[in-house]
Structure 1
Amino acid sequence: MKISLHALLGFLVFVGLLSSMQANAQSVTESGFQLNDTFYNRQWYMNFIHAPQAWDVATSSERQVVVALIDGGIDDSHPDLKGILWEDPDEPIDGKDNDGDGYVDDVHGWNFVLESEDIRPIARKYGNEAWEHGTIVASLIGARGNDDIGIAGLAWNVKIMPLVILDSDGLGGTDNLVKAIDYAMLHRVDIINMSLEGNSMDENVADAIK
Structure 2
Amino acid sequence: MKNQFAALSLLTLGLLSACSSTAPTAASPSPQERFAHVALVPLEAGDTPQSLAQAVGGEMLAWNDAGCAAGDDTDCVAMIGMNQQLGSQNLHALGGRMVYIEPNKDMFSGGGTMTATMGGRISMWAGGRISMWAGGRISMWAGGQYSQLPENTALWKKIRLEEAQRLAPKLGAGVTVAVIDTGLDLQHPAFAAALSDPSTWYDFYDGDATPQDEGTFGVGGYGHGTNVAGIVLQVAPGAKIMPLRVLGSDGSGDVVMVAKAILWAADHGAGVINLSLGSKENSKVVQDAIKKVTDRKVLVVSSAGNSNLNKITYPAADASAKGSGDYSLSVGSVDLNDVKSSFSNYASELKVMAPGEQVYAPAPDGRMAAWSGTSMAAPMVSGGLALALGERVPTKDLAKELANRATDIYKVSGNKPYKDKLGEKGRLDLVEFLSHSSDD
TM-score interval w.r.t. the shorter chain?
0.5 to 0.7
Show structure 1 runs of 4+ deviating over 3 A.
59-63, 125-129
Cα separation, 2, equivalents of 1:183 and 1:62:
21
The runs of 5 or more residues in structure 2 that have no matched partner are 1-139, 292-440
Residue type of the alignment partner of 1:36: S
Q: What is aligned with 1:156?
A: 237
Determine whether 1:75 maps to 2:167: no
Q: 1:59 to 1:78 in 2, by over 3 A?
A: farther
Q: Output the TM-score relative to the length of structure 2.
A: 0.32
Determine whether 1:113 maps to 2:205: yes
Q: Output the TM-score relative to the length of structure 1.
A: 0.65
Contact 2:220–2:249 under 8 Å retained in 1: no
Q: What is aligned with 2:158?
A: 48
SS in 2 for 1:199: coil
Cα separation, 2, equivalents of 1:203 and 1:178:
10
Contact 2:172–2:236 under 8 Å retained in 1: no
Cα separation, 1, equivalents of 2:174 and 2:159:
21
Q: What is aligned with 2:122?
A: none
SS in 1 for 2:176: strand
Contact 1:126–1:169 under 8 Å retained in 2: no
Contact 1:126–1:168 under 8 Å retained in 2: no
Cα separation, 2, equivalents of 1:170 and 1:209:
21
SS in 1 for 2:156: helix
Aligned counterparts, 1:104-183, within 5 A: 107-122=199-214, 124=215, 127-142=218-233, 153-183=234-264
User: Any idea what the Cα deviations from partners look like across 1:176-196, whole Å, max 9, x if unmatched?
Assistant: 001001101112311000000
Q: What is aligned with 1:185?
A: 266
Q: What is aligned with 1:94?
A: none
* Residue correspondences, number: 149
Give the % identical residues. 30
Determine whether 1:201 maps to 2:282: yes
Shift of 1:201: 1.3
Q: 1:175 to 1:51 in 2, by over 3 A?
A: same
Contact 1:130–1:168 under 8 Å retained in 2: yes
User: Any idea what the Cα deviations from partners look like across 1:144-193, whole Å, max 9, x if unmatched?
Assistant: xxxxxxxxx11111100011001122110011001001101112311000
Contact 2:177–2:240 under 8 Å retained in 1: yes
RMSD: 2.1
Larger Rg: 1
